[in-house]
Amino acid sequence: MQEWISDNSALLLVLPGLFFFSLFMFFPLLFTIYLSFTDAEPATVFQDGPGGLTGFFGLRGVENFVGLENYVAVLSDPAFWNSLGITWLFVAVSVTLKVAFGLFLAMLVTSDRVRGKRYLRSIIIIPWALPPIFTITIWKGVFSSARFGLANQAVMALGYGTQSWFNDRWLAFGTYLLTEMWLAYPFMVIITVSALQAVPDDLLDAAKVDGAGFVHRFLNVTVPSIKRPVMFAAILTAAASFTQFLIPYVFNRGGPGRANELIILYGYREAFTFDAYGAGAAIMMTAVVFIGIFMLAAVWKGQLAEGVN
């Protein structure tokens, strides 16, 4: 016994941490899966239910098992497909903006022609240090429909009238995109700057000797060298965009109406506004499946499973 403990001491040290990690990571997921197959609502899920194994040792309420009913109802709801479509559109446009803006700033702060790059990098990451709810609230004030809103001040300076930013579907969608880009661009800048600093100088010097201009060096030397790290960062930030909740919730609750209701907000509203915990859980699990398929496809297509270099 003593010999077995000595041989497996490392495993024994890891097991407590692995147990608690699994408990905190997988229990909410498993419980959500369970709720998605029930008609759970506040009046039932928190009631004392059966004990023992079938009652999950007292964790189960008096909700009823309904099989795939919630999933059928969700997939038959036009609001779900509108929510899923606007979410994917949000992911595609926001990731494009974040990568483009992050690459532009990273090129700027790594250029030999820019002075004070160290201070500029410190300023660039400031949005990352602020609480998201604080930043989103500030941006909500920027897009205020009142005349004193900064966005309205800007359009009035261009000769246009004031805009009700959150009452028009696509104007509201644009405010989501701009705020999301502001929240996430520091991450893209940090990853891209690190990738740019790893581009071999020999390759750039050889391209210069061959007469390649800036654009040709960027397209044929820089982009291939930083492609994999930037792609990896884009996949991570795409996952963050897919699960975005705070921006539409704080701005206009996914409005006008429910036109811009991103998928997580849609599930939240079903669960906590309409008290349909089972349907809300089914929506969340459907979203997990979609984002899981996207992540697997992106990693496989980008050949990132073997690491980033």
* 49 neighbors 55 (Cβ within 8 angstroms): yes
Residue 202 confidence (pLDDT): 82
Higher pLDDT residue, 6 or 163? 163
Q: What is d(CA 282, CA 288) in angstroms, rounded to the nearest whole number?
A: 10
Q: At what angle do helices 223-242 and 78-109 cross, to 10 degrees?
A: 140
β-bridge mates for residue 65, sequence order? 38
* Tens-digit pLDDT profile for residues 11-48: 788 888 888 888 888 888 888 998 999 988 888 877 77
Question: Mean pLDDT across the stretch 210-236?
Answer: 85
β-bridge mates for residue 38, sequence order? 65
Residue 97 confidence (pLDDT): 93
* 19 neighbors 12 (Cβ within 8 angstroms): no
Q: At what angle do helices 277-301 and 78-109 cross, to 10 degrees?
A: 40
Burial of 283 (0-12, 13-18, 19+ CB in 10 A): buried
Contacts of residue 96, Cβ cutoff 8 Å, sequence gap at least 6: none
Under DSSP, is residue 65 helix (H, G, I), strand (E, B) or coil? strand
Contacts of residue 10, Cβ cutoff 8 Å, sequence gap at least 6: none
Residue 55 confidence (pLDDT): 65
Q: What is d(CA 296, CA 147) in angstroms, rounded to the nearest whole number?
A: 46
